[in-house]
Amino acid sequence: MVCPNCRAELSASDTYCAKCGTMQQTVAAQAPQTGSTHQLIPYKNPMALTSYYLGVFSVLPMVGILLGAIAVALGVMGLRFWRANPQAGGQIHSWIGILAGGFFGALWLTLLVLLLIAIFSQVPRA
Ligand SMILES: [Zn+2]
């Protein structure tokens, strides 16, 4: 934190600047908000939030392939958005979206491929 008046280095607990005496409440108000509510639900990072929900819903068979793929894509975008705007949060939601969407998407895709192989292997040969 830096004093807006004289640019002196200040600690977050300082109420007044030790060098020039400027009141520091304005500095505290301008500090990035990293409250717990922002970390729990990243409203400012809709890509991360959407990725999280799509990742959760990718547990549904077959449609989970599509939902999982979108969840991974949005999760990567959400992580990029979080790196550019750390105060927006959404890191955890993005990772859950990527991991859950990637896992279930790959799971349903594997089952679909195995199902198709089973069906085609049972086609009677002429
Ligand atoms: Zn100062």
pLDDT, one tens digit per residue, over 85-117 is 998 999 999 999 999 999 999 999 999 999 999
Give 11 Cα–ligand 1 centroid separation in angstroms.
12
| CA-closest candidate to residue 93, choices 59, 43, 35 | 43
8-to-13, 15, 28, 30 alpha-carbon distances in Å? 14, 13, 15, 17
Beta-bridge partner residues of 2: 9
pLDDT, greater one: 18 or 45: 45
Instruction: Report every protein residue that has its C-beta within 5 angstroms of ion ligand 1.
Output: 3, 5-6, 8, 17, 19-20, 22
The pTM of the full predicted model, rounded to 2 decimals, is 0.64
